[in-house]
Amino acid sequence: MKKKQICIFVIVIIAVIIGAMIYFYSNGNNNTIELKKSDGGIEVSYVDGNYKNESKSNLAEIKQDKIWNDDKYCIVEGTVEKANNIEIRIDDKKMYNAIIEIKVESDIKGKIKEGSTISVLSGCATMKEEIYQEDSYINSQIEEGDRGIFIIHKYGIDDTLELNQKILYLSELADYGFEDAERFAFLEKNGNTLFSSNFYKDLKDNAKLDEVKSYIEDKIK
């Protein structure tokens, strides 16, 4: 093989290797979530590690009766299959949240198909000791493999995060969301149930998950 042919062959091999590396990087290692409807200047990506998230209380006044009677809310029993933290960047502002995937075992209220897997925006980052958000202890404890009962609502066009006159449509991140990260989940932990006892004062502190389910079913009758 002549020198010229050898050079061309080497150049082609190098180009193929570089092309493969670029393809692998852009398709296999890209943690950024594609946003199609949201404004420019917003970036959302999956993150690992510890982060400190400073936030003020986001607990709006709400009564139990509204949760049980409002058709806005769906209530499902299921298992958390994935729990991934995300970083939301709007200009120079950073916020942390999590996207969880729940395998639905029982549709207690609403019309979510049993056996389906749904994505839910948690309202706070999960399972990172250094991440703190006020009034979000319950959802911050969510782990993969947790069973629980989740009170969620379907995201629509009006469910947004707005900052610096820029709009992030939450439906681009998940199918459903929690009203807040403190009062809308019941998590089975070590045989007991973790929930907001300050809000559900008529539910005993040591209630098991099946007792929580019966409690909710009685409320929505």
The secondary structure of 70-139, three-state, reads: CCCEEEEEEEEEEEEEEEEEECCEEEEEEEEEEEEEEEEECCCCCCCEEEEECCCCCCCCCCCCCCCHHH
The tokens 């098991």 sit on which residue? 208
The band of 53, judged by pLDDT with boundaries at 50, 70 and 90, is low
In this prediction, residue 28 carries a pLDDT of 43
The band of 126, judged by pLDDT with boundaries at 50, 70 and 90, is confident
User: Could you read off the pLDDT of 69-98 as tens digits, one per residue?
Assistant: 999 999 999 999 999 999 999 999 999 999
Residue 199 burial (CB count, 10 A): 16
The band of 48, judged by pLDDT with boundaries at 50, 70 and 90, is confident
In this prediction, residue 128 carries a pLDDT of 59
In this prediction, residue 221 carries a pLDDT of 82
Check: CB of residue 60 under 8 Å from CB of residue 137. Answer: no
Residue 151 burial (CB count, 10 A): 20
Q: Is the pTM of this model over 0.85?
A: no
Range name among 1-10, 69-78, 117-126, 164-173 with the lowest pLDDT average: 1-10
Once rounded to an integer, what is the mean pLDDT over residues 92-107?
95
Res 214 pLDDT > 60: yes
How far is the C-alpha of 159 from the C-alpha of 177, rounded, in Å?
Answer: 9
Range name among 11-25, 106-120, 184-198 with the lowest pLDDT average: 11-25
The band of 12, judged by pLDDT with boundaries at 50, 70 and 90, is low
User: Could you read off the pLDDT of 160-204 as tens digits, one per residue?
Assistant: 999 999 999 999 999 999 999 999 999 999 888 999 999 999 999
Averaged pLDDT of the chain: 87
In this prediction, residue 180 carries a pLDDT of 95
